[in-house]
Amino acid sequence: MRPPIAIIGGTGLDALDTLSLPRQETLATPYGELSSPLLHGELGGRPVVFLARHGQRHTLPPHKINYRANLWALHRVGVRQVIAVAAVGGIRQDMAPGVLAFPDQLIDYTWGRPCTFFEDDSSEVTHIDFSEPYSPALRERLIQDARALQLDARESCTYAAMQGPRLETAAEVRKLERDGCDIVGMTGMPEAALARELGLRYAACAVVANWAAGKVAGEITMAEIERNLVAGMARVKRLLARAIPALDEPPC
């Protein structure tokens, strides 16, 4: 059987109702509890494992997510490719609410999060190459299928990973823009780096849920975010249904 493909669901995607033959698995890890049980199933005949990053009832804030346990568990059940779905704020002028974005770079502004597997009982210091934080092959597959579905998508951008759980100030967003960031979220790191440490292909599919602070007049409201995510996540499900059955296997 082909190895399963992991989908990590973020805000707006706490469940994946498109999976067939679903079964749930609770897994113990050396790093503590997962955000949620693993949901095994099939999508287009392809084995899939779904994990709700914020928990099944969306109770875990970004800085409290056990990223190490989540990635370790996915690797443990044989996953070799991870599609990470996330809600983000739009900074760049064309990052309007509702569009999809496939980042190819990121800048990490988080702090205090356990961020590596290489720190306990290591025989030597280990460094990973993180020049390209997202898998080019997996990104390209998602981009090609977004084009085929004529989805409104941005194919290159830089993701700013912020600590949260509060949203950013307008001044912070201006700084992020000067730094070259195009979208802003709170869960991109250390998730991407941990996937790289485990040798997993990892790509992000971001849904722009709102304009970042200061980009338009007025207050950012959860009602606005939720409204945009309903439409955005429907597009994500269409994309996953097309992309996952056609994904090739990474070399061993």
What pLDDT, in 10s, does the model give residues 100-155?
Answer: 999 999 999 999 999 999 987 766 788 999 999 999 999 999 999 999 999 999 99
Alpha-carbon Rg of the chain, whole angstroms?
17
d(CA 19, CA 40): 8
Q: 99 in a domain, yes or no?
A: yes
The answer as to whether 122 is a domain residue is: no
For residue 228, being part of any structural domain is answered with yes
Give me the residues paired with residue 88 across strands.
Answer: 208
- pLDDT band (50, 70, 90) for residue 183: very high
The 10 Å Cβ neighbour count of residue 225 is 17
* Residue 37: pLDDT band with limits 50, 70, 90: very high
Whether residue 46 lies inside any domain: the answer is yes
CA distances from 145 to 4, 6, 127, 231, 246 (A): 19, 18, 33, 18, 10
Domain total in the chain: 1
Tell whether 69 is covered by a domain: yes
pLDDT for 252:
53
- CATH number of the domain that residue 87 is part of: 3.40.50.1580
Note the pLDDT tens digit of each residue in 161-182. 999 999 999 999 999 999 999 9
